[in-house]
């Protein structure tokens, strides 16, 4: 919330320089539009890139762990072969289980990726509602976070300037 407080203070100060007394009137709507654009960019552009990177890394890690565990299985069976013994069925079962577990983990990651990609496709109306809830939550605690004598929350101050 302090980031929104800082953004609001910066908007109010920046807009009052060129616009004079009209600057504070435009500070809250300008901040709301900025937050809406930032959230849209984050959800539609940045989040899909981050998710695809995370899932690619998780998939590579899954394969690496599977290969390392199969290496242990190989060493175990090699010990039996060096003694000219046939590895017991448990060793073969361990290898089969490791391969099945790696494939299942990859299938689970593909399933999660398909579900997570849908987060980037949120509708504009849902994002707008999310931003409105965020700004309302920010507005309620504004005076508690910045205690100044005669503090008025930004929405009330904006409404008083717009509709005297």
Residue 58's pLDDT is what? 94
> Where does the pLDDT of residue 108 fall: very low under 50, low under 70, confident under 90, or very high at 90 and above?
very high
Q: Please indicate, yes or no, whether the overall pTM of this predicted structure exceeds 0.75.
A: no
DSSP string, 41-88: HIIIIIHHHHHHHHHHHHHHHHHHHHHHHHHHHHHHHHHHHHTT-PPP
For 93-155, give the secondary structure using H, E and C.
Answer: HHHHHHHHHHHHHHHHHHHHHHHHHHHHHCCHHHHHHHHHHHHHHHHHCHHHHCCCCCCCCHH
The CA distances from residue 146 to 7, 9, 46, 99, 149, in Å, are 13, 11, 31, 58, 10
Domain that includes residue 89, residue range: 26-162
Residue 62 belongs to a domain? yes
Residue 3 belongs to a domain? no
CA nearest to 125, candidates 24, 4, 43, 10: 43
Number of domains in the chain: 1
Handedness of CA 15, 19, 21, 27 (dihedral sign): negative
Residue 19 belongs to a domain? no
Residue 153 belongs to a domain? yes
Residue 145 belongs to a domain? yes
Q: Give pLDDT tens digits for 67-98.
A: 999 999 999 899 988 998 888 888 889 889 99
């Amino acid at each position: 919330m302090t980031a929104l407080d800082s953004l609001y203070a910066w908007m109010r100060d920046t807009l009052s320089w060129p616009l004079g007394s009209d600057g504070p009137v435009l500070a809250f709507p300008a901040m709301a539009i900025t937050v809406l654009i930032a959230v849209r960019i984050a959800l539609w552009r940045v989040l899909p890139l981050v998710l695809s990177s995370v899932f690619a890394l998780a998939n590579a890690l899954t394969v690496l762990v599977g290969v390392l565990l199969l290496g242990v299985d190989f060493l175990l069976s090699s010990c039996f072969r060096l003694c000219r013994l046939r590895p017991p069925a448990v060793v073969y079962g361990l290898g089969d289980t490791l391969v099945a577990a790696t494939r299942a983990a990859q299938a689970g990651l593909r399933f999660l990726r398909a579900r997570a990609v849908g987060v980037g496709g949120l509708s504009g109306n849902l994002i707008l509602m999310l931003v409105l809830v965020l700004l309302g939550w920010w507005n309620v605690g504004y005076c508690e976070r910045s205690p100044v004598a005669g503090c008025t929350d930004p929405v009330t101050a904006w409404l008083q300037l717009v509709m005297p």
